[in-house]
A = this chain, B = another copy of it.
């Protein structure tokens, strides 16, 4: 049983972030009506850890909300995982193309003997 400040500190996140996730519907608001203070237990801690782990995997908050509501259906969860996998692979492919282009450009710079021109600028112009 802990208040929001303890909870946030334990998870290494901001108090405002907890309230933000609450507004987003990712977690439910617990209330001890006497004081009006939110009182959390380990269930809430685990929920938030779930959210933080999923976030680290690149899921958006909306996707995390889906993941949590889907948690009974392994096939649906797997499908979200596969979709995320496709997105990640596309991003990797895009970045690898960029990597190649920019690497070629910087190599041209290294080989450049003319102090009055820059191959990168030239190829962009």
* A interface residue numbers (CB < 8 A to B): 46, 50, 53-54, 57-58, 67, 71-75, 77-78, 81-82, 84-85, 88-89, 91-92, 95-96, 98-99, 101-103, 105-106, 109-110, 112, 115, 117-121, 124-125
Known contacts A71-B118, A120-B78, A124-B53; A85/B99 CB under 8 A: yes
Q: Is the CB of A84 within 8 A of B102?
A: yes
Give the distance in Å from the alpha carbon of A63 to the alpha carbon of B74 in the complex: 44
Query: How many identical chains are in the complex?
Result: 2
C-alpha spacing A50/B49, complex, angstroms: 45
Residues of B contacting A57 in the complex (Cβ-Cβ under 8 angstroms): 98, 101-102
Instruction: Tell me which of A73, A103, A109, A118 has the highest count of chain B C-beta atoms within 10 A of its own C-beta.
Output: A118
